[in-house]
C-alpha cells in the first residue's frame, strides 16, 4: 500500500485543509490539490484572504458587516462564487471557506460551522495546537532551532 492509498483509507469522509480551495488566484489552491490527489472530498479553510476577481478583504468585510449575516458569499466581478466569508461563534475576523474537491459550497459551510467552537474549525485548530507543541518539544530537546531556520531561510 502506498502513502496515497494509506491516507485515502484513513480519511474517508471529508478533509478540512488549512488553506484555500477554489478561493485562490488560480482557482485551484492546496485543498483542491489534496482532494484530487487523494480522491476524497476536501474543504479549504483559510484565515488569510486572497484578492481575486475584484474581491478585496476590505470590501468583503465591509459588505459582510453591512449585511449582518454570519456567512457572506464571495461573488466576484465575473459573477463566479469563489467561496464564503464566515464569522461563527461571535468572532470578529472571518475565515474563508471554499470548495476543495467533490463537495458543494453549501455543504462545506455547514460542516465548517458545525466544527467551529472558536474562529476556525476544531480539527484544524487542534492540528495547529498539536504541531506547535511538537515544535516546542523539538526545540527544547535541541533538535531544531526555528528562529535560526527562519533567519537562514529569509536572509539568503
- For position 7, what pLDDT does the model report? 59
- How high is the pLDDT of residue 10? 59
One domain, residues 21 and 53: yes
Sequential DSSP letters for 114-130: HH-SSSS-HHHHHHHHH
pLDDT of the residue at 154: 78
66 and 133 together in one domain: no
- The pLDDT value given to residue 78: 98
Residues 81 and 70 in one domain: yes
What pLDDT is stored for residue 30 in this prediction?
Answer: 98
Number of domains in the chain: 2
- DSSP label of 102: S
Q: Do 130 and 86 have their domain in common?
A: no
From CA 57, how far away is CA 119, in angstroms rounded? 17
Q: Supply the range of the domain harboring residue 8.
A: 3-119
Do 53 and 84 have their domain in common? yes
Mean pLDDT of successive 10-residue stretches along the chain, which has 156 residues: 66 89 98 96 97 96 92 97 94 96 97 93 96 91 79 73
Please check whether residues 110 and 41 belong to one and the same domain: yes
- Clarify whether residues 85 and 140 are in a common domain: no
Amino acid at each position: 500500500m502506498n502513502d496515497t492509498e494509506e491516507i485515502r483509507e484513513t480519511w474517508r469522509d471529508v478533509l478540512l485543509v488549512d488553506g484555500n480551495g477554489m478561493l485562490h488566484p488560480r482557482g485551484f489552491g492546496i485543498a483542491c490539490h489534496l482532494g484530487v490527489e487523494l480522491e476524497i472530498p476536501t474543504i479549504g479553510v483559510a484565515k488569510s484572504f486572497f484578492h481575486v476577481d475584484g474581491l478585496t478583504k476590505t470590501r468583503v468585510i465591509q459588505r459582510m458587516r453591512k449585511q449582518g449575516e454570519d456567512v457572506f458569499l464571495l461573488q466576484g466581478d465575473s459573477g463566479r462564487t469563489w467561496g464564503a466569508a464566515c464569522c461563527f461563534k461571535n468572532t470578529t475576523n472571518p475565515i474563508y471557506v471554499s470548495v476543495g474537491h467533490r463537495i458543494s459550497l453549501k455543504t462545506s459551510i455547514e460542516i465548517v460551522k458545525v466544527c467551529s467552537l472558536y474562529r476556525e474549525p476544531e480539527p484544524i485548530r487542534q492540528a495547529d495546537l498539536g504541531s506547535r507543541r511538537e515544535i516546542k518539544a523539538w526545540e527544547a530537546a535541541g533538535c531544531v532551532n526555528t528562529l535560526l531556520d527562519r533567519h537562514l531561510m529569509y536572509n539568503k
